[in-house]
Each structure stands twice: as C-alpha cells, then as structure tokens.
Amino acid sequence: MTVECLREMGRLVAEADSGQSALSLLERSDPFDLLVMDVVMPGLSGPDTVRLARRTRSDLKVLFVSGYADTSESADKDSTDPLIVKPFKPTVLAEAVWNALGPARLADH
C-alpha cells in the first residue's frame, strides 16, 4: 500500500523486500531523495539498515513506518528520523514525506 500511495503522489519508487535489498539499491549511484523503511523487517532491521546505508550516504533522509503501536520496543531510540504508525491514511503518508524531505521538497515545484 505504501508503494502504491507514493506512486500515486507522483514519486518514483524503487522497491526492496528486505534491508539487504534496500542496501543493494542504495549502493548504486542513483540518487534517492528519501528512504521509507519499515522498522521491523526479517533479517536486517530498519534502523540497522539505515545505520549501514548512512556509512556511504550520510545525508540520506529517512521516514520510518511501523505496525507496532508501542514503537519504543522496535524503533531506534537514538533516531531523530520521523516515524508514522500503520495503518495510516494516504494523507498522513503524504504529509510525512513532505516533512521528511525538508528543503529538498522545493525541487518538486
């Protein structure tokens, strides 16, 4: 649903089914404006994936999503990256993406 919503917003989306797949995509030289990452994933967690990705992409903007009401057990407590809790409405996702992109969003207009 998240990928579909992002595409309906006019975003180009590269989809990965795991943290390791996301890292493989990020290892390419392709530009990425935002990484939308689930907190809990099989294998490599979302926060672990982001930590590894930021070794080579230190300025990577991230929006975490979680299906857990109590995200304190699953999220990186030191993270300042925004988080939205599933289920969420497309408008919540759109606003979170807008806010996560910060000044970079001005390039969209």
pLDDT in tens, 12-55: 999 999 999 999 999 987 899 999 999 998 889 999 999 999 99
Look at residue 6 and tell me whether its pLDDT is greater than 60. Answer: yes
Look at residue 94 and tell me whether its pLDDT is greater than 80. Answer: yes
Q: What is the pLDDT at residue 86?
A: 92
Number of domains in the chain: 1
Look at residue 3 and tell me whether its pLDDT is greater than 90. Answer: yes
- Residue 109 within a domain: no
pLDDT in tens, 44-86: 999 999 999 999 999 999 999 998 866 554 455 567 899 999 9
> Could you tell me the CA-to-CA distances from 77 to 1, 8, 73, 95 in Å, in that order?
26, 32, 9, 23
Q: What is the pLDDT at residue 109?
A: 44
Alpha carbons 105 and 109: distance in angstroms, whole number = 8
- The beta strands (E) that lie in the chain are given as 35-38, 62-66, 83-85
- Residue 74 within a domain: yes
pTM score = 0.84
User: Could you list the residue range(s) of the whole structural domain that residue 56 is in?
Assistant: 2-104
- Residue 35 within a domain: yes
CATH number of the domain enclosing 29: 3.40.50.2300
- Residue 83 within a domain: yes
DSSP 10-26: T------SSHHHHHHHH
- Residue 84 within a domain: yes
Both tokens of residue 104? Answer: 């970079």
